[in-house]
Structure 1
Amino acid sequence: ITLASPVPGVLDFVTPKEGDIVQAEQEIAGLQDDVVEAQRNVAKKEAENDVEKRYAVKAAEVAEAELRKSVEANRRLRNSVAAVEIERLQLAAERARLQIEQAENQMEINQLRYNEAEANLKTHHIRAPFRGTITRKFKSRGEAVRQGDPILQIVSTDEVKVEGYVTVLDSLRLKAGDKVEVQLTLEGFVQKEPFEGVLTLVEPKVDPIRGEIRVAARVQNPDNVLKAGLTATMKIIPQKGEAVQTTQLSR
């Protein structure tokens, strides 16, 4: 697959060379990210800031205490606190409670902004989606790229796709998930054990030229022996009945 730039920018580094083997999740290229990293750091500080909420909680405690004292005073001595003052204190207590909600809402917004800034920063770092070999290097450090510009091409070698054909009758006994065994037909190559894999496709239509059904499998490739362009035979082992041999197979 081709790894492209998720965002426009200037390449800060492109680590691997053509032919290098990289590991899954290895960081292999990155765009200059000073500005977006600073934005992320600011958003992080804002997300961690709970001063407004703590102040609102304290203010609410004071407002509730003042209201309770006035209500208690009226309970002991009727009309010692005017009704309009009680209403004012009730309003102040309610406003203080709403300020807590407002502070909590702002904290949630700040957290979302931080998440957005963190996600934006990650788009400036390109990681290998799987273990594989770098087959093409399109860009180098210092080059400007647009969104979607190809940077590297990587090919998985741990597992390969193989294709072949079976008769229509044989295809009726096959389904995705059946085990397969692949044997290379390479002159001079001695293969002790077949390459094992799993059937991934039994095409639902007949090939108009061959009159057969195309099948495909994912096959384990230890030591990177299986390579593009090689021919082989594949035995498909269905859950019921005898094994099916492909009539033609290519990697």
Structure 2
Amino acid sequence: MTLAFQRPGVIAHLPIREGDTVTADALVAKLNDAVARADLEIAKAEAATDIQVRVAQKEAETAQAEYQAVLNANKLTPGTFPEPDVLRLRLEAQRTELLVELKEHEYRIAQLTRDQAEAELTTYAVHAPFAALVTRTLKSAGEAVTQGEAVAELVSTRRVRVDGYIDLADAWRVRPGDRVEVRIAAEQGLSLARQPISGKLRFVDVSVQTLRSVIRVWAEVDNEDGSLRDGLTAEMTIFPKSQPKPGASHVGQDPGPAAAVSASGM
């Protein structure tokens, strides 16, 4: 997997080297984010308090109380306050009510701006999506990068994809989800060849390679000890669920050796 930044910038920190193993979510590279962090602090401060909302609410309460007092006075003694004064106080009460709505809206925008600043800050760093081996570093600290430009390449060594081909005649017997066993060819390491490695078939192609009358398949197998490596030749045996008995069905020839496949890191 090739990793890249979601934004342009200058790399401030690149803590990995080729050959390093990294855990899931480990920092791979980081851009200079001083400005983004300052923007976030400002956004946090603006979103930290609703004092403007509370001030507007008090002003609205005051205006409404003054307006109501004038109405009550004119009700007891008509003409105590002239109509223009009554109208002015009524409009002031309405204005302050709208001001409360405006301040509540601004407070909500401040919170969203803070959330946006937090989200943007995450784009200044690249983290490993899974535990993996660093196979290539393509940039160095201090270099400028563009959005989407590759920074490093990782390969997961805990699960391995095994690619191969089956005869067209066997295609109807296998389905994604079937159990598989993979054995490394003996000439590549007797210690690896002794123990089969279990996994599951994940893909059966719908297209036929007509020159050879074969169909491409691939399976995913566990590789916790890291013994499987990219480029190894192996034999993969598929156990179709449709078989009435759990006996192995060697893919590619029946009977005979299993089809040769190559193991590659996921």
**Alignment TM-score > 0.5, same fold:** yes
The answer (yes or no) to whether the contact 2:5–2:125 under 8 Å persists in 1 is no
Which moves more between the two structures, 136-145 or 12-21?
136-145
Distance 2:150 2:225 in 1: 28
Q: How does 1:107-122 map to 2 (within 5 A)?
A: 107-122=107-122
Residue in 2 aligned with 1:42?
Answer: 42
SS in 1 for 2:242: coil
Query: Which amino acid in structure 2 is aligned with residue 250 of structure 1?
Result: S
SS in 1 for 2:97: helix
1:136 equivalent to 2:148? Answer no
Which moves more between the two structures, 91-100 or 188-197?
188-197
Query: Which amino acid in structure 2 is aligned with residue 179 of structure 1?
Result: R
Classify 1:76/1:241 alpha carbon distance in 2 versus 1 (closer, same or farther; 3 Å).
Answer: farther
Distance 1:190 1:9 in 2: 45
Residue in 1 aligned with 2:156?
Answer: 156
Classify 1:109/1:241 alpha carbon distance in 2 versus 1 (closer, same or farther; 3 Å).
Answer: same
C-alpha RMSD of the superposition: 2.1
Which moves more between the two structures, 165-174 or 22-31?
165-174
Aligned structure 1 segments of 4 or more residues deviating by more than 4 angstroms: 190-193
Classify 1:240/1:77 alpha carbon distance in 2 versus 1 (closer, same or farther; 3 Å).
Answer: farther
TM-score by length of 1: 0.90
- TM superposition shift of 1:201: 1.0
Query: Which amino acid in structure 1 is aligned with residue 260 of structure 2?
Result: Q
Residue in 2 aligned with 1:229?
Answer: 231
Query: Which amino acid in structure 2 is aligned with residue 210 of structure 1?
Result: R
The alignment covers a number of residue pairs equal to: 251
Structure 2, unpaired ranges of 5+: 252-258
TM-score by length of 2: 0.85
Which moves more between the two structures, 224-233 or 112-121?
112-121
Classify 1:70/1:171 alpha carbon distance in 2 versus 1 (closer, same or farther; 3 Å).
Answer: farther
1:58-82 deviation digits (Å, cap 9, x = unpaired) = 1111122222323333444444444
Residue in 2 aligned with 1:217?
Answer: 219
Q: How does 1:167-178 map to 2 (within 5 A)?
A: 167-178=167-178
Identical columns (%): 39
Classify 1:178/1:67 alpha carbon distance in 2 versus 1 (closer, same or farther; 3 Å).
Answer: farther
Distance 2:83 2:122 in 1: 59
- TM superposition shift of 1:193: 4.4
1:137-192 deviation digits (Å, cap 9, x = unpaired) = 12222222222332211111011111122233432233322332222223322556
Residue in 2 aligned with 1:248?
Answer: 260
Residue in 2 aligned with 1:186?
Answer: 186
1:112-159 deviation digits (Å, cap 9, x = unpaired) = 222222222211111111110011112222222222332211111011
Which moves more between the two structures, 79-88 or 212-221?
79-88
